[in-house]
Amino acid sequence: MTSGAGRRASSAVVPAAALLVLLPVLAVTLGVLQAGAAPWQRVAGSGWEPLLGTTLALLALVLIGTLLLGAGLAWLTTAYRFPGRRTLQWLLVLPTAVPSYILGLVWSSLLAYPGPVQTTWRSLLGDDAPFPPVRTLPVAAAVLTLTLYPYVYLLARVAFRDQAATPYGAARTLGMRPLQAARRIVLPLARPSLAAGGLLVALEVLSDFATVQYFGVDTLSVGIYKVWRGQFDRPGATVLALLVLVLALALLAGERLLRRGARFSSTVRDTTPMAAVVLTGARAWAATAACSLVLLLAVGIPVVTLLLWSTTTGMGDTAGFLTATANSVLLAAQVAAVVVVLSLLLVHAARVDPRRRVQLGVQATVSGYAVPGPVLAIGALLALAGARTLLDRLGLPGGGGLVTGSVLVLVVVYTARFLALGYTTTEARLAGVSPSLTAAALSLGATPRRVLTGVHLPLARSGIAVAAALVAVDALKELPIVLLLRPFGFDTLSVRVWQLAADSRYEMAGLPALAIVTVAMIPVVLLFRGDDDAQLADDAVDVLPAADPAGEPELAGVAR
Amino acid sequence: MSAVELAGVTKRYGRTTALDDVSLSVRDGELVALVGPSGCGKSTLLMLVAGLLEPDAGTVSVGGRVVAGPGAWVPPEQRRVGVVFQDAALFPHLRVEDNVAFGLPRGRASQAARVAELLALVDLPDLGRRYPHELSGGQQQRVALARALAPQPAVVLFDEAFGNLDSGLRSTVRDATVAALRETGAAGVFVTHDQSEALAVGERVAVMRAGRFEHVAEPAQAFHAPATRFSATLLGEADFLPGRQDGAVVDTEVGRLAVTPEGAGDVEVMLRPHEVVFSADASGTAKVLRREFRGASYVYTLVLPSGAQVRSIQPHTVDVAPGSSVAVGVEAGHPVRSFPRGA
């Protein structure tokens, strides 16, 4: 049985991509089995239990925070009408462009003893006025919440709009007040989406070890970093990495559990707009103020602060800044290119080849988003060490270079990290292309390669560009992996921000941080500014202006 | 030789079994209609033949070659199976002529002539330069057919191919499709949930339910002597009357009728509304319960003394008011079908 060249290529790509993601996981697991009991005792001096406790507490706080803030803002901006809502509803996605290690840096500096907040506090209340401690877990959780809530916000909005609009309208006509209907109808319907958003948030929290260190919070991932970079204790770091991995898998299982029984998610997209309540008077301005406050804390104040720092210090070490910028750009570009090509081949393979091993391979690759960055990094290092041993044993040269780290290793691990993002973005864009198109092309005798070049590529071009932009920006922002794996002396913008912050040279960090935030904002603005699906609801409101003298909420645009 | 042969094919999605040990043979040039309620597995069957799904068990052959089975797998593009989809699935970025030419060997001088020939076959000779979005739904379906026929497949599969067309257009496009298929000699498998379409198109009709075939037969036989009560009601309106069978006759409330298959004992016989006749008769034991206007005809619902109901289709000229007493008879023109009672 002969196979087309394209199919051979895709049959090679799928297992290779799956291996890329699964090998680090396997390496960590095997590494722990090899290490025995000793590392468990000596990790971070006092064992791993306190780290686990802190991690769980942080996870709980950030999850509660992001779910409340994300779902609350999503509800406010879909079910109510208030001044500035149309602009605010997409601006509220913007905090995702400010990485947590930058937001944390800004706020830990602003809130520090010599910072402007405490200085003002003392000048108002006297030198001895007590100020709540800043370097604490709740403050770290607040910072993480402010940068991570957009995950929940976006998914909740889609759920509210696409699934809950009609049932909500029905509930209102059956006599329920808005909040009552929200609690009894909308919230249960949105549960799977909220769970999915929560999972993304939790995985980000698990990966982070930079932000929390500003606040003196020692999580498992902080442990990995300290044990690996500080004590060069490989088995110790591996044990901690396994704990993080187990936590991630538990979260994944939890999300699946919350999604089970969610058979009410309809396959037909409902385009009926949400019946919106027009807020008037003080309530309306309170809603506007609430959204603005979040934006101010998460984006406005940080960006202004970074601008001030950049203008007072300038570039400082110009050569260092330029080198870091060049490194960041090159790394991001390479990763984006590799990820996009791989993603397209994977999406394509999943489309043209229905065999189980191909489908499972693609699923395994996509599940890579659940492997936290530090675990990937440690796993990759262990795998490389294994490869070195193998090469040495075979008497082949070149093994040493594998372990000391190289930019190539960074590109590979970044690829494993961002493949899921690239895949889902490309696939989402191709989802508009009916599967029957692919099927028609194949049944007409087109080889998979021809389907790729003649049908999938021309129709998915915009998706590929979006995927490339998103991956490049995420690669630019990425910190944990590059901190763990970078070759000696290799600086990126994110590494520079982190190091300057660690040395408390906050102002010097202004320019590289500002560069990251500015670039990260571009795709967010381009993608979401046109987010106008609520147009219909708005139009209905314009047609039926609800002038209610009592200032009571009024049902304006009633869904059919 | 068979154009398509399925032997013991099973396909599961997780815990649901979409196809359960199904076998079917489609002869060269034969037109077979697969009919069944949604979710019965009929579309799954098509996708398995086309190579867009992989069976869990059993073998699939096309044109005498095993294309899926233990240790065998022929990718879809090498199967010589044409597919026409419900949404036509024309490539939106290609002109009509390029869509039709997609499955032809590229760069041959004969290609343009072949495209013109195919567009003439589906009666769209002048639309080659258009883009798909500039065509009506019916035109798109005919282009899809021309495109599927271009590589001279052994069989063309139609997945609810006329389902998106409005009812007037549907039969026109369907007839044109059948004519074109006959001209090329390709076999055809039509998946549909519309019983009248299945009866009109198929040389054989296969009734599917929950992943299995209930009955595979010629349309007239499937309609008049269905294998199961499920097939009976799926292929057309049917009422069931209790009776007592003795050999080839059965005694019912509406008289003694010829019956098939032979047997004895308590049975139920199937009566289709066009087989039931009645006349206004003041001494008749049945009554008209209600009537439904269908334009050219009335459907009368009659209550028999036992309380059982049967329907009767009559031309609009037969005008009997509800409540009237009537005498009921059966004019089937063939033995009626009996089923074991309660089955």
Instruction: Please report residues of B whose CB lies closer than 8 A to that of A444.
Output: 77, 82, 102-103, 147-148, 150-151
Confidence of residue B1 (pLDDT cuts 50, 70, 90): confident
Contacts of A47 (CB under 8 A, 6+ apart): A40, A41
Which residue do the tokens 């935030």 mark? A517
ipTM: 0.71
Q: Which two tokens stand for residue B12?
A: 């599961």
Mean pLDDT confidence for A155-175? 73
Of B77, B83, B159, the CB nearest to A446: B77
Strand order in the sheet with B255-271: B239-252, B255-271, B336-340
Residue of A nearest to B48 (CA): A354
Instruction: Please report residues of B whose CB lies closer than 8 A to that of A3.
Output: 75
Confidence of residue A405 (pLDDT cuts 50, 70, 90): low
SS3 content of chain A, % helix, strand, coil (to 5): 75, 0, 20
The answer to whether the beta carbons of residues B3 and B155 sit under 8 Å apart is: yes
Distance from CA of B98 to the nearest CA of A (A): 11
Of B50, B78, B90, the CB nearest to A439: B50
Q: At residue B298, what is the residue type? A: Y
The pLDDT assigned to B30 comes to 94
User: Do residue A444 and residue B148 have CB atoms under 8 angstroms apart?
Assistant: yes
pLDDT at B190 over 90: yes
Provide the terminal-to-terminal Cα distance of chain A, rounded to the nearest Å.
Answer: 56
Residue of A nearest to B152 (CA): A444
CATH number of B2-234: 3.40.50.300
Render pLDDT for A255-272 as a digit per residue (tens, 0 to 9): 878 776 554 444 444 455
The pLDDT assigned to A535 comes to 35
- More confident site: A461 or B181: B181
User: Do residue A447 and residue B77 have CB atoms under 8 angstroms apart?
Assistant: yes
Render pLDDT for B37-52 as a digit per residue (tens, 0 to 9): 888 888 899 989 988 8
- More confident site: A400 or B140: B140
The pLDDT assigned to A216 comes to 85
Percent of chain A past pLDDT 90, that is, above it, reads 10
User: Do residue B82 and residue A444 have CB atoms under 8 angstroms apart?
Assistant: yes
* Burial class of residue A186 (count of CB atoms within 10 Å of its CB; 0-12, 13-18, 19+): buried
Mean pLDDT confidence for A326-334? 88
Look at strands B212-217 and B325-330 and give their pairing. Answer: unpaired
The answer to whether the beta carbons of residues A155 and A196 sit under 8 Å apart is: yes
Distance from CA of B205 to the nearest CA of A (A): 24
- More confident site: B56 or A465: B56
Write out the residues of chain B at the interface with chain A, using a CB-CB cutoff of 8 A: 47, 50-54, 72-83, 85-87, 89-93, 102-103, 144, 147-148, 150-151, 153, 159
Render pLDDT for A369-384 as a digit per residue (tens, 0 to 9): 778 888 888 888 888 8
User: Do residue B53 and residue A354 have CB atoms under 8 angstroms apart?
Assistant: yes
Range with the poorest average pLDDT among A105-114, A137-146, A358-367: A358-367
* Cα distance between residue A406 and residue A403, in whole Å: 8
The pLDDT assigned to B205 comes to 95
Q: Which two tokens stand for residue B174?
A: 């369907």
* Burial class of residue A15 (count of CB atoms within 10 Å of its CB; 0-12, 13-18, 19+): middle
Residue of A nearest to B99 (CA): A441
* Burial class of residue A403 (count of CB atoms within 10 Å of its CB; 0-12, 13-18, 19+): middle
Range with the poorest average pLDDT among A489-503, A546-560, B178-192: A546-560
pLDDT at A481 over 50: yes
- More confident site: A390 or A263: A390
Distance from CA of A350 to the nearest CA of B (A): 11
Which residue do the tokens 């808005």 mark? A178
Q: Which two tokens stand for residue B78?
A: 């090498």
Confidence of residue A45 (pLDDT cuts 50, 70, 90): low
Render pLDDT for B107-158 as a digit per residue (tens, 0 to 9): 777 788 889 989 988 888 889 899 888 898 889 988 999 999 988 898 999 9
Angle CA A442–A445–A448, to nearest 5: 50
Please report the DSSP string for B34-71 in residue order.
EE--TTSSHHHHHHHHHTSS--SEEEEEETTEEEEETT
User: Do residue B102 and residue A446 have CB atoms under 8 angstroms apart?
Assistant: yes
Rg over alpha carbons for chain B, rounded to the nearest Å, is: 24
The pLDDT assigned to A534 comes to 41
Q: Is A47 left (phi over 0), alpha (psi -120 to 50) or beta?
A: left
The pLDDT assigned to A541 comes to 25
- More confident site: A221 or B61: B61
User: Do residue A439 and residue B102 have CB atoms under 8 angstroms apart?
Assistant: no
Confidence of residue A6 (pLDDT cuts 50, 70, 90): very low
The pLDDT assigned to B207 comes to 94
The pLDDT assigned to A274 comes to 65
Q: Cα torsion for A82, A84, A85, A86, to the nearest 10°? A: 140
Of B73, B144, B153, the CB nearest to A355: B73
User: Do residue B75 and residue A434 have CB atoms under 8 angstroms apart?
Assistant: no
The DSSP call for residue A163 is I
User: Do residue B91 and residue A355 have CB atoms under 8 angstroms apart?
Assistant: no
Confidence of residue A289 (pLDDT cuts 50, 70, 90): very high
Across A42-70, b (16+ Cβ under 10 Å) vs e yields: bbbeeebeebbebbeebbebbbebbbebb
Of B76, B144, B147, the CB nearest to A442: B76
Of B54, B86, B89, the CB nearest to A437: B89
* Cα distance between residue B165 and residue B171, in whole Å: 9
Confidence of residue A399 (pLDDT cuts 50, 70, 90): low
Angle CA A165–A167–A169, to nearest 5: 65
Superfamily of domain B237-340: Nucleic acid-binding proteins (2.40.50.140)
Residue of A nearest to B86 (CA): A436
Look at strands A554-555 and A277-278 and give their pairing. Answer: antiparallel
* Cα distance between residue B99 and residue B144, in whole Å: 8
Count interface pairs A-B at CB distance under 8 A.
89
The pLDDT assigned to A173 comes to 67
* Cα distance between residue A114 and residue A108, in whole Å: 11
Q: Which of A115, A163, A156 is nearest to A135 (CA)?
A: A115
Average pLDDT, chain A: 78
The answer to whether the beta carbons of residues B98 and B73 sit under 8 Å apart is: no
User: Do residue B102 and residue A437 have CB atoms under 8 angstroms apart?
Assistant: no
Range with the poorest average pLDDT among A8-12, A448-452, B3-7, B44-48: A8-12
SS3 content of chain B, % helix, strand, coil (to 5): 25, 40, 35
pLDDT at B201 over 80: yes
Give, for A221, the enclosing helix (H) or strand (E).
helix A220-225
Residue of A nearest to B106 (CA): A446
User: In a mutagenesis test of the A interface, which of B77, B86, B133, B149 is the best target, namely the one with the most A β-carbons within 10 Å?
Assistant: B77
The DSSP call for residue A279 is P
Residue of B nearest to A434 (CA): B89
Contacts of A367 (CB under 8 A, 6+ apart): A21, A252, A420
Render pLDDT for B253-306 as a digit per residue (tens, 0 to 9): 998 999 988 889 999 999 999 999 999 888 888 999 999 998 889 999 999 999
Q: At residue A24, what is the residue type? A: P
The pLDDT assigned to A155 comes to 82
User: Do residue A443 and residue B50 have CB atoms under 8 angstroms apart?
Assistant: yes
Distance from CA of A7 to the nearest CA of B (A): 9
The pLDDT assigned to B215 comes to 92
The pLDDT assigned to B96 comes to 92
Q: Would you say the C-alpha torsion B312, B318, B320, B325 has a positive or negative sign?
A: negative
Render pLDDT for A196-215 as a digit per residue (tens, 0 to 9): 888 888 888 988 888 888 88
Distance from CA of A262 to the nearest CA of B (A): 16
Q: Which two tokens stand for residue A201?
A: 């948030």
Confidence of residue A9 (pLDDT cuts 50, 70, 90): low
Render pLDDT for A511-552 as a digit per residue (tens, 0 to 9): 888 889 988 888 788 777 755 544 323 322 222 222 222 222
Range with the poorest average pLDDT among A161-170, A247-256, B57-66: A161-170
Of A354, A451, A454, the CB nearest to B54: A354
The pLDDT assigned to A142 comes to 93
Alpha helices in chain B (DSSP H): 42-50, 96-101, 110-121, 137-149, 167-184, 195-201, 219-224, 229-235
- More confident site: A343 or A35: A343
User: In a mutagenesis test of the B interface, which of A356, A444, A453, A461 is the best target, namely the one with the most B β-carbons within 10 Å?
Assistant: A444
A91-to-A204, A291, A303 alpha-carbon distances in Å: 21, 9, 14
Residue ranges covered by each domain of chain B: 2-234, 237-340
Instruction: Please report residues of B whose CB lies closer than 8 A to that of A446.
Output: 77, 102-103
pLDDT at A68 over 90: yes
Confidence of residue B25 (pLDDT cuts 50, 70, 90): very high
Please report the DSSP string for A435-490 in residue order.
HHHHHHHHHTT--HHHHIIIIIHHHHHHHHHHHHHHHHHHHHH--HHHHHHPPTT-
Of B72, B86, B102, the CB nearest to A444: B102
Mean pLDDT confidence for A164-169? 71
Secondary structure (3-state) at B127: coil
Render pLDDT for B203-240 as a digit per residue (tens, 0 to 9): 999 999 999 999 999 999 999 999 999 999 999 999 99
